[in-house]
């Protein structure tokens, strides 16, 4: 979704409605946006949800007003705040990724440049050489005015944050603001805030991070960054997931080469073989990022947004059967589903909302949909 430069900050009532909607069970960023597109506002979507839930055939819990108010009050006690995608202080690069979070929890000071950002990720069990290289790269980038983004994990992430405490760093959390993982990095999180950096998450207060939440975090690490640097990574690692997200988001990917004898270098070396830029210094990164332009990505231009049609008749059981027959485990564009099924855009939107609320489909990159098995 391209940023709306004229967007106004939400009113308190609108912010509560947005929070209730995104905290409703089975409502993620893609579903949130489709509900807003379909009904025009979060308030109207909340009014329509009970009917949609009944049609889905599943029991789905809608977040209550008091729960939303309690979360906002809790964040205030922690010195954090909710930032909506329509707010002027929403991280600008996130506007250019598919399924960007409509709401973020953010605690941040003034020592940040959200436009000039580099993500640094790598192995939790990093080597001494990997940690040293990370510190060199992060320090040089910070001294050149770049904000460093990472995931507050052990190893490479922690080294990147520590090296840029005084120049600006952003830690993206996989859990709630009060559930920092790993616990050993809680002092580092406090140091980041004390030095004017930022902690950021899309998860609610009290949320203990699960395995599936770390890839969600990784897409934000890459989405907040002009480019991603992989220092050390095994063949199957979260760092490679972050690199894949960066490629999907049309961001630059860099990798530090390593010894073929070190398993921690396999992932980075493989990225270089696949086209990632080999780097040996911060200058290699800066040279490439000088022409980086996240808005060049066409992803947000292809977002599927049929015009709201509140008075359209509800789709029939036959319509639903046709859609289910067209869906499969392989993600497919919604526009293609409309063509293949012969359903109207309005019927397609309603059916996908019902299936999404029932937990029967999942979204890939915010635009492709597949059956969940």
- Predicted local confidence at residue 295, as pLDDT: 64
pLDDT for 296: 56
Would you state the pLDDT for residue 6? Answer: 46
Is the pLDDT confidence value at 108 over 90?
A: no
* Lowest-pLDDT range of 106-110, 114-118, 290-294, 330-334: 290-294
> What pLDDT was estimated at residue 1?
41
**What is the distance between the alpha carbons of residues 127 and 133, in angstroms, rounded to a whole number?**
10
Instruction: Quote the pLDDT of residue 4.
Output: 47
- The mean of the pLDDT values for the chain is 89
CA atoms lying within 13 Å on the CB side of residue 287: 9
Residue 312's pLDDT is what? 62
What pLDDT does 322 receive? 87
- Sorting pLDDT into bands at 50, 70 and 90, what band is 242? very high
The pLDDT of residue 302: 38
Q: What is the pLDDT of residue 328?
A: 87
Instruction: Quote the DSSP letter at residue 110.
Output: S
Residue 250 has pLDDT above 80, yes or no: yes
> What average pLDDT does this structure show over 110-128?
93
Q: What pairs with residue 147 in β-bridges? A: 117
pLDDT at 151 over 60: yes
Q: Strand, coil or helix: what is 261? A: coil
Q: Residue 281 pLDDT more than 90?
A: yes
What percentage of the chain carries pLDDT values higher than 90? 66
DSSP secondary structure of 15-55? HHHHHHHHTSTT--HHHHHHHHHHHSSHHHHHHHHHHHHHH
pTM of this prediction? 0.88
- Is the pLDDT assigned to residue 2 strictly greater than 50? no
What confidence tens digit (pLDDT) does each residue in 288-346 have? Answer: 997 776 665 544 433 444 444 555 677 888 888 888 888 888 888 888 888 888 888 88
pLDDT tens sequence across 26-67: 999 989 998 998 899 999 999 999 998 988 888 889 999 999
Q: What is the pLDDT of residue 5?
A: 45
- pLDDT of 137 higher than 90: yes
Alpha helices in the chain (DSSP H): 12-22, 29-39, 42-56, 65-77, 128-143, 156-163, 186-194, 213-223, 238-248, 266-273, 282-289, 317-326, 334-341, 345-357
Residues of the chain with pLDDT > 70, as a percent, come to: 91
pLDDT for 184-240, tens place per residue?
999 999 999 999 999 999 999 999 999 999 999 999 999 999 999 999 999 888 999
169 has a pLDDT exceeding 90: yes
């Amino acid at each position: 979704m391209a940023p709306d430069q004229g967007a106004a900050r939400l009113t308190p009532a609108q912010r509560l409605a947005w929070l209730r909607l995104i905290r409703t069970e089975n409502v993620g960023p893609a579903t949130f946006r489709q509900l807003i597109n379909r009904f025009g506002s979060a308030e109207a979507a909340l009014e329509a949800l009970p009917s949609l839930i009944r049609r889905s055939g599943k029991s789905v819990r809608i977040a209550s007003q008091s729960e939303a108010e309690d979360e906002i009050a809790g964040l205030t006690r922690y010195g954090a705040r909710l930032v909506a995608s329509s707010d002027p202080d929403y991280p600008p690069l996130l506007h250019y990724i598919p399924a960007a979070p409509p709401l973020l929890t953010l605690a941040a000071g003034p020592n940040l440049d959200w436009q000039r950002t580099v993500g640094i990720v790598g192995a939790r069990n990093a080597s001494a050489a990997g940690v040293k290289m990370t510190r060199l790269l992060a320090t040089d980038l910070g001294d050149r005015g770049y904000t460093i983004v990472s995931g507050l994990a052990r190893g490479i992430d922690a080294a990147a944050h520590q090296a840029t405490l005084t120049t600006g760093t952003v830690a993206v959390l996989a859990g709630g603001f009060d559930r920092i993982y790993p616990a050993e990095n809680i002092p580092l999180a406090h140091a980041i805030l004390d030095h004017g950096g930022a902690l950021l998450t899309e998860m609610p207060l009290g949320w203990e991070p699960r395995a599936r939440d770390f890839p969600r975090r990784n897409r934000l690490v890459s989405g907040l960054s002009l480019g991603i640097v992989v220092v050390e990574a095994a063949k199957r690692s979260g760092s490679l997931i972050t690199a894949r997200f960066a490629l999907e988001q049309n961001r630059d990917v860099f990798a530090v080469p390593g010894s073929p004898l070190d398993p921690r270098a396999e992932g980075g070396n493989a990225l270089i073989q696949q086209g990632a830029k080999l780097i040996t210094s911060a200058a290699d990164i800066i040279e490439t990022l000088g022409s980086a332009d996240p808005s060049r990505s066409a992803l947000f231009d292809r977002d599927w947004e049929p015009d709201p049609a509140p008075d359209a008749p509800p789709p029939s059981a036959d319509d639903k059967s046709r859609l289910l027959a067209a869906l499969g485990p392989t993600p497919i564009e919604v526009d293609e589903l409309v063509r293949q099924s012969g359903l109207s855009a309005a019927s397609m939107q309603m059916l996908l909302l019902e299936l999404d609320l029932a937990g029967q489909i999942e979204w890939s990159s915010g635009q492709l949909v597949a059956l969940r098995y």
